[in-house]
């Protein structure tokens, strides 16, 4: 990537709205669906991911000249996994309730494609300061998306918001169940598309994903293979 002259503010803001990881580039779908049964869980997960994203972007940007290109992905993953272990300890010690409700998905931040994607696409090519801002922006965008999903599902599914009873006449339990997660995300993305007045993404945005070329190879192979 050519070193384009971009302002620091741009690096920070782009991840929040223009390149929102969930609604626009469609990355990190697993935690987006899994932990958003409550608004507070969404924020907790979002902030934990932001922490890992900022730290790993900083570390990788500092190490970018030392890491050999051929083995960069395993190196990135180890850096990310270390910070995940750190945040696991911090949450276990200070916010045990959140630690319990996020559970397995806290460890799975390691394989969140947003983090690896930003490391590969941004931090390994830019200076530390910009990488931190980029990580912060993408992380906050992710947090915003999780908060939105969590709010919708908590309000519709259990008639509460941050645990406060809203006294709704009807609640639809299905929204806190897995099926409701898929449904809510589908509708939110549709609404975002409508508001953004642009064509909805035809494909999952592999743009930020380090495996993108592989996915495309598979799909291309299928198209060439024709119907059978």
Partner 1 sequence: MRSLLVILLSAMLVDNFVLSKFMGICAFLGVSKKLDSAVGMGAAVTFVMACAALATYPIYTLILIPLGLEYLKTVAFILVIALFVQIVEMFLKKAVPPLYKALGVYLPLITTNCAVLGVTILNIDNSYNLGQSVVNAVGAGLGFSLALIIFSGVRQRVNAADTPAMFKGVPATLIAASIVSVSFMGFSGMFS
Interface residues with partner 1 (CB under 8 A)?
Answer: 26-27, 29-31, 33-34, 73-74, 77-78, 81-82, 84-85, 88-89, 104, 107-108, 110-113, 116, 174, 177-183, 185-187, 189-191, 193-194, 200-204, 206, 209-211, 214-215, 217-219, 221-222, 225, 228
For residue 53, which of 104, 123, 101, 3 has the smallest C-alpha distance? Answer: 123
Please give the Cα distance from 49 to 47 (Å, whole number).
5
**Could you tell me the smallest distance in angstroms from the CB atom of residue 43 to partner 1?**
18
Instruction: Pick between residue 7 and residue 211 the one whose CB is nearest to partner 1.
Output: 211
The 10 Å Cβ neighbour count of residue 101 is 17
**Could you tell me the smallest distance in angstroms from the CB atom of residue 83 to partner 1?**
10
Instruction: Pick between residue 11 and residue 112 the one whose CB is nearest to partner 1.
Output: 112
**Could you tell me the smallest distance in angstroms from the CB atom of residue 19 to partner 1?**
16
Instruction: Pick between residue 18 and residue 214 the one whose CB is nearest to partner 1.
Output: 214
Residue 81, φ and ψ in degrees, nearest 5: -60, -35
Instruction: Pick between residue 155 and residue 212 the one whose CB is nearest to partner 1.
Output: 212
Q: What is the DSSP string of 11-69?
A: HHHHTTTTT-TTTTS---HHHHHHSTTSHHHHHHHHHHHHHHHHHHHHHHHHHTTTS-G
What tokens does 165 get? Answer: 């009873």
Please give the Cα distance from 69 to 30 (Å, whole number).
28
Instruction: Pick between residue 13 and residue 212 the one whose CB is nearest to partner 1.
Output: 212
Q: Which residues contact 198 (CB under 8 A, 6 or more apart)?
A: none
**Could you tell me the smallest distance in angstroms from the CB atom of residue 2 to partner 1?**
27
**Could you tell me the smallest distance in angstroms from the CB atom of residue 27 to partner 1?**
8
């Amino acid at each position: 990537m050519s070193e384009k002259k971009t302002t620091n503010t741009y690096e920070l803001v782009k991840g929040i709205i223009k390149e929102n990881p969930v609604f626009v580039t469609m990355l990190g779908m697993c935690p987006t669906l899994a932990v958003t049964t409550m608004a507070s869980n969404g924020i907790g997960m979002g902030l934990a991911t932001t922490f890992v994203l900022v730290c790993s972007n900083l570390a990788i940007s500092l190490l970018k000249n030392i890491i050999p290109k051929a083995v960069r992905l395993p190196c990135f993953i180890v850096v990310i996994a270390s910070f995940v272990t750190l945040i696991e300890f911090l949450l276990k010690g200070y916010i045990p309730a959140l630690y319990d409700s996020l559970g397995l998905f806290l460890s799975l931040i390691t394989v969140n494609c947003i983090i690896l994607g930003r490391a590969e696409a941004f931090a390994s090519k830019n200076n530390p300061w910009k990488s931190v801002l980029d990580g912060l922006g993408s992380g906050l965008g992710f947090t915003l998306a999780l908060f939105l999903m969590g709010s919708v599902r908590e309000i519709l599914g259990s008639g509460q918001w941050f645990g406060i009873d809203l006294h709704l006449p009807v609640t639809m339990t299905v929204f806190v169940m897995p099926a409701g997660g898929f449904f809510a995300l589908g509708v939110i993305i549709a609404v975002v598309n409508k508001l953004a007045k642009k064509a909805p993404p035809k494909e999952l945005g592999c743009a930020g994903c380090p495996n993108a070329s592989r996915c495309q190879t598979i799909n291309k192979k299928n198209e060439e293979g024709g119907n059978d």
